[in-house]
């Protein structure tokens, strides 16, 4: 019995010892593997920081408006007799667009003109009678007063007739018609919008700190969401002579050439004012920037040092930088990078300081690729 117990105990010790020994040996070799493991170099793309000449820019958001634009309406009430335009037509200044019914006024006009002519004859006869001492000066004054009244009545009636013709006050392009033939129009009814589109204004505001940096005649560029990547040239036309005491902003107005009629009044616009002379800057692609709460940084491509292994290999060194303005896909670096230094432009998110890398600019990588 004792021999069986001893054999069982020995067998259990042997089994458990083997299990624990195997686990310990596995952990030992695993630790040895990770202690000596070197991950393969990360594949990234890189580009040199370039020295460029940039002209200072002031950016703002504005709204486009026509240099001349109006919503046409009627001054006097009437029924639409004729519509002499189509929506979207280009019209000349003075062109009749809508004719209201003026039959009553036209019928009254000959009678008013006859009364005016009779009053004029009465003035002439009264003057003759005064010359013959057969009438008093009072009679002449009365005759002149009647003439002036009849002249005023004729002028008023002709003005009413003229106002029943809605004309284009200037040359431009019409919008969409808002009235129909035979419709009765109370005074002030909107009929159609008329816009002169060859030139447009862009109105925007700037902080007071730029009051000495802008002046009429400076070049501006305007971009709108309808035409991504395109810029429309213009120049500053007017700068407000006062600063708003509440917002501390001042108004600016630029004029944009729009002879192709691609822009429309009412559009929002991103405005760039070109101010001052060109200045040298160091620029890198925006994709090279790693943004964080601790500061903005880039990864600079460096050759591995003596302590990093093979001197022919490359490593990524994180370097904090200070950024300036941006232009398209580039951003200005005011501190932290020298011209000519290569920075990682794609594959930034998978890097850490001192990590081995290989540069392959032939492979399209995204800034956040893994």
Average pLDDT of the chain, as a whole number: 87
**pLDDT tops 80 at residue 363:** no
Confidence (pLDDT) at 148: 94
CB < 8 Å & 24+ apart, contacts of 319-324: 320/294, 320/295, 320/296, 321/289, 321/296, 321/297, 322/296, 323/289, 323/296, 324/281
Band of pLDDT at residue 252, cut at 50, 70 and 90: very high
Q: Percent of the chain, pLDDT > 90?
A: 59
Higher pLDDT, 305 or 280: 280
Average pLDDT over residues 318-325: 90
How far apart (Å, rounded) are the C-alpha atoms in residues 193 and 267? 16
CB < 8 Å & 24+ apart, contacts of 183-188: 183/79, 183/80, 184/77, 184/78, 184/79, 184/80, 185/74, 185/77, 185/78, 185/79, 185/80, 185/100, 186/77, 187/73, 187/74, 187/75, 187/76, 187/77, 188/73, 188/74, 188/75
Task: For residue range 130-170, list pLDDT tens digits in order.
Answer: 888 777 888 888 999 999 999 999 999 999 999 999 999 99
Band of pLDDT at residue 28, cut at 50, 70 and 90: low
Band of pLDDT at residue 246, cut at 50, 70 and 90: very high
Measured at the CA of 153, the angle between CA 147 and CA 156, to 5 degrees, comes to 140
Confidence (pLDDT) at 73: 95
Task: For residue range 55-64, list pLDDT tens digits in order.
Answer: 888 999 999 9
Residues of the chain with CATH 1.10.287: 102-163
Q: How is residue 355 written in tokens?
A: 């990590």
Q: By the 8 A CB rule, do 282 and 338 touch? A: yes
**pLDDT tops 80 at residue 265:** yes
How far apart (Å, rounded) are the C-alpha atoms in residues 123 and 139? 9
Residues 6+ apart with CB under 8 A from 35: none
Q: What would the CATH number be for the domain defined by 42-55+279-359? A: 2.40.420.20
Which residue has 């033939």 as its token pair?
A: 181
Of 71-80, 160-169, 247-256, 318-327, give the lowest mean pLDDT range.
Answer: 318-327
**pLDDT tops 90 at residue 327:** no
How far apart (Å, rounded) are the C-alpha atoms in residues 149 and 167? 29
Q: Which helix (H) or strand (E) holds 351?
A: none
Confidence (pLDDT) at 309: 47
Band of pLDDT at residue 83, cut at 50, 70 and 90: very high
Residues 6+ apart with CB under 8 A from 47: 284, 285, 288, 342, 343, 345, 361
147 bridge partner residues: none
Residues 6+ apart with CB under 8 A from 37: none
Q: How is residue 40 written in tokens?
A: 């393969």
Q: By the 8 A CB rule, do 87 and 227 touch? A: no
Q: Percent of the chain, pLDDT > 70?
A: 86
Q: How is residue 114 written in tokens?
A: 């006859």
Measured CA distances, 90 to 186, 261, 265, 325, 345 (Å): 26, 12, 16, 43, 51
Residues of the chain with CATH 2.40.420.20: 42-55+279-359
Identify how many contiguous H helices and E strands the chain contains and give both numbers: 3, 21
CATH of 102-163, one of 1.10.3470, 1.10.287, 3.30.70, 1.10.10: 1.10.287
CATH architecture of 60-66+197-274: Beta Barrel (2.40)
Confidence (pLDDT) at 175: 93
Band of pLDDT at residue 173, cut at 50, 70 and 90: very high
**pLDDT tops 80 at residue 16:** no
Confidence (pLDDT) at 321: 92
Confidence (pLDDT) at 368: 42
């Amino acid at each position: 019995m004792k021999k069986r117990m001893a054999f069982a105990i020995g067998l259990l010790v042997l089994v458990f010892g083997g299990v624990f020994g195997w686990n310990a040996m596995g952990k030992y070799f695993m630790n040895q593997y990770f202690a000596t493991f070197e991950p393969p170099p990360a594949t990234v793309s890189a580009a040199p920081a370039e020295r460029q000449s940039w002209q200072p820019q002031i950016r703002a958001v504005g709204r486009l408006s026509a240099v001349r634009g109006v919503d046409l309406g009627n001054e006097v009430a009437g029924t639409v007799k004729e519509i002499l335009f189509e929506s979207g037509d280009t019209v000349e200044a003075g062109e009749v667009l809508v004719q209201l019914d003026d039959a009553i006024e036209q019928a009254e006009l000959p009678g008013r003109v006859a009364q005016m002519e009779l009053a004029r004859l009465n003035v002439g006869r009264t003057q003759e009678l005064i010359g013959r001492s057969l009438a008093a000066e009072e009679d002449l004054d009365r005759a002149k007063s009647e003439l002036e009244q009849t002249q005023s009545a004729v002028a008023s009636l002709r003005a009413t007739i003229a106002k029943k013709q809605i004309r284009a006050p200037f040359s431009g392009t019409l919008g969409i018609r808002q009235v129909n033939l035979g419709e009765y129009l109370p005074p002030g009814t909107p009929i159609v919008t008329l816009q002169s589109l060859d030139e447009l204004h862009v109105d925007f505001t700037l902080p007071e700190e730029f009051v000495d940096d802008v002046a009429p005649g400076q070049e501006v560029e305007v971009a709108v969401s309808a035409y991504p990547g395109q810029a429309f040239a213009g120049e500053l036309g007017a700068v407000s002579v006062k600063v708003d005491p509440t917002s501390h902003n001042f108004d600016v107005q630029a004029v944009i050439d729009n002879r192709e009629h691609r822009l429309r009044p009412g559009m929002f616009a991103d405005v760039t004012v070109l101010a001052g002379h060109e200045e040298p800057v160091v620029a890198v692609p925006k994709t090279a920037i790693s943004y964080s709460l601790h500061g903005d940084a880039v990864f600079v491509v460096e050759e591995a040092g003596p302590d990093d292994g093979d001197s022919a290999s490359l490593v990524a060194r994180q370097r904090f930088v200070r950024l300036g303005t941006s232009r398209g896909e580039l951003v200005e670096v005011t501190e932290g990078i020298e011209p000519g230094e290569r920075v990682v432009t794609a594959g930034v998110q998978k890097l850490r300081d001192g990590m081995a890398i290989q540069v392959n600019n032939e492979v399209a990588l995204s800034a956040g690729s893994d």
